[in-house]
Amino acid sequence: MQRRLIRPNLSEVKEKMTREARKKLPPPSDTHAENYYFLKQMNKRTLMAVALADGEQVEGYIEWYDRNCFKLNREGAPNLLIYKRQVKYLYKLSDQNGKQKITEKTEEAEKKEKIQNSGSKKNK
């Protein structure tokens, strides 16, 4: 009886090793979404409201920002340098007003619809 030596193909072994070595990389810690948002608001000079961790709220335009803080320009008040770690949240003031206008319009439309429906019921 003659024994035969079976050797694995060297290229297959290399592929297996490279697959094991090529593990999934973790997602990047910086998505640049914050940078995009700040640049967009700076370019449009959007009036922003910033709610701070202590409950105080300030309004103004973002002039510049970096990794740790941003500068808020205010009209009729001194400009502020705000550390990002002290910010609870921030939002556009124009969005808040726009949302209020939309809800007012829908309430008016509902009132008109009720008046029209009550008038059509009386006619029947």
Q: What is the model's pLDDT at position 68?
A: 94
- Domains in the chain, CATH or no CATH each: 33-97 (2.30.30.100)
Element (H, E) at 99: helix 93-123
**What rounded mean pLDDT belongs to the chain?**
81
> The pTM is what?
0.55
Instruction: Please name the residue that has the structure tokens 């973002």.
Output: 62
pLDDT in tens, 10-61: 888 788 777 766 677 777 788 889 999 999 999 999 999 999 999 999 999 9
Task: List, as one string, the DSSP characters of 39-50.
Answer: HHHHHHT--EEE
Dihedral, CA of residue 88, residue 92, residue 97 and residue 102, to nearest 10: -100
**CA neighbours closer than 13 Å in the CB half-sphere of residue 46:** 19
